[in-house]
């Protein structure tokens, strides 16, 4: 039976003895062996009574079996819900209950804590460990290695991904088969992926980047992956001569740059380095190119849409930008208040439309209506501008916008100035409460190793570059910026930590 996602990503490799996963222990899993394991897992999960359209929530460590569980859900017509392994039992309870999950899969270490969660949600509970053990793995071991693929169309749901929930309840983004397939095909073509590619995969697979970009692109192209459970500097350096591509977050690249072994010889076999999930500093771009001869390719996506834009594969990869809209994706910069297009070069709200855009938020019709326009454009919540050549520059989230004394202040403008100063590794600019202005600007600076940037000198640099109302009221030096698992700076944490800084001060 035709199954849009499974056929495009997995089924096309049936019977192929080509290498798919290179594992840390030296084992190589072929495409065909992977599909046979996925079929066994499909039997194991459907034997628990699941039917097409049911949700499977999985909080499991990254492994070949964890990826095969995704394939099994696709083949059985189930909706896959990967969960961050750092979530607490109470957080998992919300996701399980909100999604109406019929099955919760976890590791043995979490089984005791999650048993009452599954019971409260009315879900079954199964164990799948990274070493191939657990109740679900054992059921799969005893099952047939072929499975009758369940028919699913382009508009059927394939996955739920929950938003981070930093400003309220997490929202379950409903992703269809076509959302995932169209984006994987577009990216594979745009980034020139083929069956000859070997991708270094050190990202988590509970997130868009690691699962629906890195894994799906490799699958649709028919290439292989060097599949690491997490980023390990020595392991990545050892993998470079055998790989052709790598996808990572900015932290991956800064850690590589800290290693003297990174040079042109070490990366000679590589075709492309891709970065996303958080902004890449211009300094990182320049240093990486100087050391390796490779210009990192930066792109822009999100939970609800997968990838929207990319710097070109052929052509200038411009630091500080995320390139152009991908083929088939429309992009506009709109006034947040009126929804009208803003003049070229002005900052506005980024909106996108295309086959990659999700179906809406699970059980939240009001949120869906607020963020998905009737004409199909999705209001991303990101603020950006198009430069004179059409490259998109993201200046922040709308919730990060600072309104001080009636003036709109975009943190990215100030951060770009600070990041360019001697001794500064990176910065974060936030708005904090102020008695007279409503909000005022606070800048937090992380110094380069061994450096001690002078706040007064930094303030003078900002004063020379930006209008007075954009100047920070204070610049503080801190050891590190708080980040989530994908490397994004958690400005909500910073706002909470410094909310009282100017209390009572005029």
505 located within any domain: no
Number of domains in the chain: 3
Span of 125-129, 243-247, 268-272, 400-404 with lowest mean pLDDT: 400-404
Q: Choose one of 134, 167, 189: the last residue of a domain.
A: 189
Q: What is the pLDDT of residue 91?
A: 85
Let me know whether 244 and 393 are in one domain.
yes
208 located within any domain: no
470 located within any domain: yes
506 located within any domain: no
pLDDT reading at 185 higher than 70: yes
pTM for the model stands at 0.85
Q: Choose one of 189, 214, 239: the last residue of a domain.
A: 189
Cβ atoms < 10 Å from Cβ of 462: 21
Let me know whether 327 and 409 are in one domain.
no
Neighbouring residues of 136: CB distance < 8 A, sequence distance ≥ 6: 41, 44, 45, 69, 105, 126, 127, 128
Measure the CA–CA gap between 445 and 156, rounded to whole angstroms: 46
Give me the CATH number covering residue 368. Answer: 3.40.50.12780
317 located within any domain: yes
23 located within any domain: no
In the chain, the percentage of residues whose pLDDT exceeds 90 is 80
Let me know whether 367 and 408 are in one domain.
no
Let me know whether 184 and 69 are in one domain.
yes
What is the domain extent for residue 301?
Answer: 231-397
Let me know whether 341 and 448 are in one domain.
no
Let me know whether 374 and 450 are in one domain.
no
Alpha-helix residue ranges (DSSP H) falling in 100-143: 111-121, 135-141
Mean per-residue pLDDT over the chain, rounded: 93
Where does residue 459 rank: exposed (0-12), middle (13-18), buried (19+ CB within 10 A)?
middle
Cβ atoms < 10 Å from Cβ of 168: 8
Let me know whether 444 and 342 are in one domain.
no
Average pLDDT over residues 191-219: 97
280 located within any domain: yes
Q: Choose one of 381, 397, 413: the last residue of a domain.
A: 397
Radius of gyration of the chain (CA): 23
Residue 456 banded pLDDT, cuts 50, 70, 90: very high
Q: What is the pLDDT of residue 504?
A: 54
Residue with tokens 């599954």: 118
Question: For the segment 271-295, what is each residue's pLDDT rounded down to a tens digit?
Answer: 999 999 877 888 889 999 999 999 9
């Amino acid at each position: 039976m035709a199954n849009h996602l499974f056929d495009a990503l997995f089924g096309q490799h049936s019977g192929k003895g080509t290498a798919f996963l290179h594992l840390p222990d030296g084992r190589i899993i072929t495409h065909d062996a992977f599909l046979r394991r996925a079929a066994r897992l499909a039997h194991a999960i459907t034997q628990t009574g699941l039917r097409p359209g049911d949700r499977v929530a999985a909080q499991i460590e990254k492994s070949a079996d964890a990826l095969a569980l995704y394939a099994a859900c696709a083949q059985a017509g189930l909706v896959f819900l990967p969960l961050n392994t750092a979530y607490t039992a109470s957080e998992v309870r919300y996701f399980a209950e909100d999604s109406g999950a019929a099955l919760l899969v976890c590791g043995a270490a979490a089984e005791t804590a999650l048993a009452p969660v599954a019971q409260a949600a009315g879900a079954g509970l199964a164990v799948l460990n990274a070493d191939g053990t657990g109740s679900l793995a054992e059921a799969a071991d005893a099952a047939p290695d072929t499975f009758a693929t369940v028919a699913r169309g382009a508009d059927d749901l394939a996955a739920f991904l929950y938003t981070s929930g930093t400003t309220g309840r997490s929202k379950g983004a409903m992703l269809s088969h076509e959302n995932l397939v169209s984006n994987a095909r577009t990216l594979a073509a745009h980034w020139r992926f083929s069956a000859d590619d070997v991708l270094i995969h050190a990202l988590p697979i509970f997130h868009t980047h690691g699962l629906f970009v890195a894994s799906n692109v490799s699958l649709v192209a028919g290439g292989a992956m060097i599949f690491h459970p997490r980023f390990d500097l020595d392991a990545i350096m050892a993998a470079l001569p055998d790989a052709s591509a790598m996808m990572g977050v900015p932290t991956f690249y800064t850690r590589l740059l800290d290693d003297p072994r990174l040079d042109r010889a070490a990366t000679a076999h590589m075709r492309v380095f891709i970065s996303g999930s958080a902004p890449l500093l211009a300094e990182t771009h320049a240093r990486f190119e100087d050391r390796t001869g490779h210009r990192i390719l930066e792109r822009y996506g999100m939970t609800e849409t997968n990838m929207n834009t990319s710097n070109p594969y052929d052509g200038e990869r411009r630091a500080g930008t995320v390139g152009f809209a991908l083929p088939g994706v429309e992009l506009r910069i709109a006034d947040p208040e009126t929804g009208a297009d803003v003049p070229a070069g002005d900052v506005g709200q980024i909106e996108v439309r295309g086959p990659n855009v999700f179906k809406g938020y699970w059980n939240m019709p009001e949120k869906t209506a607020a963020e998905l326009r009737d004409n199909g454009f999705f209001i991303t919540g990101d603020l950006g501008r198009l430069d004179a050549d059409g490259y998109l520059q993201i200046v922040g989230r709308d919730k990060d916008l600072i309104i001080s004394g009636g003036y709109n202040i975009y943190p990215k403008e100030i951060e770009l100035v600070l990041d360019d100063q001697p001794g500064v590794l990176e910065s974060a600019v936030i708005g904090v409460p102020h008695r007279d202005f409503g909000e005022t600007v606070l800048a937090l600076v992380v110094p380069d190793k061994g450096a001690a940037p002078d706040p007064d000198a930094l303030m003078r640099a900002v004063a020379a570059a930006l209008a007075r109302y954009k100047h920070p009221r204070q610049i503080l030096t801190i050891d590190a910026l708080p980040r989530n698992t994908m490397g994004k700076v958690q400005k909500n944490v910073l706002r909470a930590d410094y909310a009282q800084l100017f209390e009572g001060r005029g």
